[in-house]
Chains A and B, each alone.
Chain A
Amino acid sequence: MIGNIKGLMVTLRTMLRSPVTAQYPEMDKRTVLAKRFMGFPALLWDYSVDEPYCTGCMVCIRDCPTQCMSATMQDNLLHTEGKSKRRKIVESFEINLGRCILCGICVDVCNFDAIEMSHEHELSKYKRDGNRVDLPALLDMGKQFQRKIGWQPTQAKNVGATELVDNGAKGVPE
Chain B
Amino acid sequence: MTIDQSPNSMDIMVNMGPQHPSTHGVFRLVIWIDGERIVRAEPHIGYLHRGSEKLSEGESYNQVITLFDRLDYVANLNCELAFCIAVEKLMAIEVPERSHYIRVILSELNRIASHMLFYGVYGLDVGAMTPILYGFRERERIQELFESVTGARMMHHYFWIGGVKEDLPDDFERRMKVLLPTLKQGIDECDRLLSDSELFLARTKGIGTITAEDAIDFGVTGPSLRATGVLEDVRISEPYSIYDRFDYGIPVGTNGDCWDRYYVRLEEMRQSIRIIEQAMEQMMPGETMAKLRRITRPPKGESYVRTESPRGDFAVFVVSDGTEHPYRVKVRTPSFANLQALQHLLRDAYVADAVVILGSIDIVLGEVDR
Interface positions of A from 98 to 124, Cβ below 8 Å from B: 101-105, 108-109, 117
Contact check, A3 vs B198: say whether CB atoms are below 8 A apart: yes
Tell me the complex Cα distance, A34–B144, Å. 8
Q: Are A104 and B151 in contact (CB under 8 A)?
A: yes
Cα A33 to Cα B169 with chains together (Å): 14
A105 touches B63 (CB 8 A): yes
Contact between A105 and B198 (Cβ–Cβ < 8 Å)? no
> Please, how many angstroms separate the alpha-carbon atoms of A109 and B150 in the complex?
17
Specify which chain B residues have a CB less than 8 angstroms from the CB of A14 in the assembled complex.
134, 189
Shortest Cβ distance from residue A59 to the other chain B in the assembled complex, whole angstroms: 10
| B151 & A117 in contact (Cβ 8 Å cutoff) | yes
Residues of B near A34 (CB, < 8 A) are: 144, 147-148, 151
Minimum C-beta distance from A33 to chain B (A): 8
Task: Identify which of A11, A65, A174 gathers the most chain B CB atoms within 10 Å of its CB.
Answer: A65
Q: Which residues of A have CB within 8 Å of B155?
A: 101-103
B59 touches A4 (CB 8 A): no
**Cβ-defined partner of B63 (8 Å) among A35, A65, A161:** A65
Minimal beta-carbon separation of A160 from chain B (angstroms): 10
**Do most interface residues of chain B lie in helix, strand or loop, or is the interface mixed?**
helix
CB distance from B142 to the nearest CB of A (A): 13
Contact in complex: B165, A104 (CB < 8 Å): yes
B157 touches A36 (CB 8 A): no
Interface: A74 (CB within 8 A): no
Q: State whether A164 touches B193 (Cβ < 8 A).
A: no
- Whether A35 and B193, one on each chain, are in contact in the complex, defined by CB atoms closer than 8 angstroms, is no
**B295 with A165: CB separation less than 8 A:** yes
Report the separation of the CA atoms of residues A9 and B189 in the bound assembly, to the nearest whole angstrom.
10
- Size band of the B side of the interface? 35 or more
Contact of A105 among B134, B157, B299 (CB under 8 A): B157
Q: Which residues of the other chain, B, contact A108 by a CB distance below 8 angstroms? A: 165
**Nearest A residue to B147, CB-CB:** A34
> Which residues of A have CB within 8 Å of B197?
3-4, 6-7
Contact B148 A36 (CB under 8 A): yes
Residues of A within 8 A of B353 (CB): none
A139 to B279, CA, bound (A): 42
B295 neighbours in A (Cβ, 8 Å): 164-165, 168-169
Q: How far is the CA of A54 from the CA of B126 in the complex (A)?
A: 55
The verdict on A35 contacting B169 (CB below 8 Å), with A7-B197, A20-B137, A103-B155 known, is yes
- Identity of the chain A residue whose Cβ is nearest the Cβ of B91 in the assembled complex: A174
List the A side residues contacting B194 at CB < 8 Å: 7
Q: How far is the CB of B32 from chain A (nearest CB, A)?
A: 35
B152 to A164, Cβ gap below 8 A? no
Residues 132-151 of B at the A interface (beta carbon under 8 Å): 134, 137, 140, 144, 147-151
8 Å CB contacts to B: which residues of A5-40? 6-7, 9-11, 14, 20, 31, 33-38
Report which A residues bind B (CB closer than 8 A). Answer: 1-4, 6-7, 9-11, 14, 20, 31, 33-38, 63, 65, 101-105, 108-109, 117, 161, 164-165, 167-169, 174
